Amino acid sequence: MKILPKLQIALDNTSLESALDSIRVVGEEIDVIEAGTILCVAEGMKAVKCLKALYPQKIVLADIKAADAGSLLAKMCYDSGADWMTVICCAPIATMEAALKEAKTRNCDVQIELYGDWTFEQAAEWREAGIEQVVYHRGRDAQAAGQGWGAEDIDKVKKLSDMGFKVTVTGGLVTEDLHLFKDIPVYTFIAGRSIRNAKDPKEAAREFKKVIAEYWG
């Protein structure tokens, strides 16, 4: 049986009220619900608690991009109901290991967010430390500065996948981008603005699912 990439919505809303307005419309179409970095900064763990209470059957991700205090921050995320949390790629390996240790005692997981400078040597160390998930990210600001998806991105995603990572892809994704990754077993695609800000967000989420099924089904 073919495994389809999951669809994750990033709730980078600036208030919980607005995040709930977004998720209410599309929640049932989505596999993973992300309390985005922006939402976590605005509302803290209250947002994670609320999303898990409303969608207990869905995977909830706290995108806090932790850089330090891995154990404490992981406890906060998981005890608030997050199934997954993010650690930034420039964090020390000790922070990743500490977060992963908390995850494993609860059947949860850690994703390493790939931003800016990182190397495949570091990625090999993360694998060695037991990290299974990475998020290949085109930053919001990089996108706004005109950075598109290129062959270099596809090669890196492929290489990470070949290393055994479950690779998530994100960063201003629209459905027209998905075919670029069609030869790679992408674990999850994250879309934020292209679903939340669509005229019909439910239809936008369904379109993502349809295109995913077309290329990976």
Question: Residue 133's binding partner, choosing from Mg ion, ligand 5RP, none, with beta-carbon cut-off 5 to 8 A by kind?
Answer: none
Task: Decide the pairing of beta strands 59-66 and 32-35.
Answer: parallel
Residue 118-147 contact track with ligand 5RP, rule CB under 6 A, x = bound: ----------------------x-------
Candidates 136, 141, 94; CA nearest to 111 is: 136
Regarding 10 and contact with ligand 5RP (CB under 6 A), the answer is yes
Q: What are phi and psi of 84, to 5 degrees?
A: -130, 155
| Nearest distance in Å: CB 34, Mg ion | 6
Regarding 60 and contact with Mg ion (CB under 5 A), the answer is no
Residues 61-120 that bind Mg ion (CB under 5 A): 63
Regarding 201 and contact with ligand 5RP (CB under 6 A), the answer is no
Q: What are phi and psi of 59, to 5 degrees?
A: -75, 130
d(CA 18, CA 124) in angstroms, rounded, equals 39
Question: Residue 83's binding partner, choosing from ligand 5RP, Mg ion, none, with beta-carbon cut-off 5 to 8 A by kind?
Answer: none
Regarding 192 and contact with ligand 5RP (CB under 6 A), the answer is yes
177 is catalytic: no
69 is catalytic: yes
Candidates 62, 18, 54; CA nearest to 36 is: 62
Q: How many residues bind ligand 5RP (CB under 6 A)?
A: 15
Catalytic residue, from 4, 67, 69, 142: name it: 69
d(CA 190, CA 168) in angstroms, rounded, equals 7
Regarding 63 and contact with ligand 5RP (CB under 6 A), the answer is yes
d(CA 79, CA 90) in angstroms, rounded, equals 25
CA atoms within 13 A on the CB side of 69: 8
| Nearest distance in Å: CB 173, ligand 5RP | 5
Tokens 């990089």 correspond to 142
Just list the catalytic residues.
37-38, 65, 68-69, 73, 113, 137, 140
